Amino acid sequence: MGLFNENATGRISPLGNFTGFDDSTEYFFALSPIPGQTGAGILQPNYNAFTSYELHAFTSGCPEVASSIVYLNTTIVHPGSPSHGQYVTKIKEIAFWRFDENGAVLYYDAQISNLSLWFAKFTGADISNGAVQALDIVTNLCPQIQARCTGANQVYSRYFEFYFWLSSRFNFLQWKVRRRK
């Protein structure tokens, strides 16, 4: 038994819809930053990582459904650096979950309301701008995934292939993220 049912389907706002086990797990595990990741195409390593969480609410009136509010705390993970352990920011996810008879996630609907602010805090990139999104995907996200997904986990031979696939699934240039002033 795993975290997700093989037929898991859900929506993450503002990102999009995810169908099946591969889409669901790829999203959940790709969201977390990898400290110090290097590789072809990565312009500058990022030393941020989720290092703790705050579960503010997990409510359920029956075994099949639940709702949750979770904050994931981001700190710098760079041993030997003066900034190691420094708190950066947190990201908030509000979600509704439906579980199968074995307790694995079957359906989910989640919202990350401060995604743009969280991302800007540790990268300096304003992803509410479509051109910045596209550039960051090519110079940050795709190369990091390529560096992480090797051997049996490799899906794309070059990170530009991943970029074109991702662009075909999500129109990032149209993605609007609310920003606080």
pLDDT tens digit sequence for 29-87: 666 666 666 655 555 677 888 899 999 999 998 999 999 999 999 898 889 999 999 99
Domain 4-174 is in which class? alpha beta
CA pair distance 98, 71, nearest whole angstrom: 20
Q: Distance (Å, rounded) from C-alpha 115 to C-alpha 164?
A: 22
pLDDT band at 172 (very low <50, low <70, confident <90, very high): low
Max mean pLDDT among 17-21, 72-76, 152-156 falls in 72-76
Within 10 angstroms of residue 91's Cβ, the number of other Cβ atoms is: 21
User: Taking Cα atoms as reference points, which of 52, 18, 60 lies closest to residue 32?
Assistant: 52
Parse the chain into domains and list their residue ranges.
Answer: 4-174
* Per-residue pLDDT, 71: 93
Residues in the chain: 181
pTM: 0.69
Kind and range of the H or E run holding 109: strand 105-111
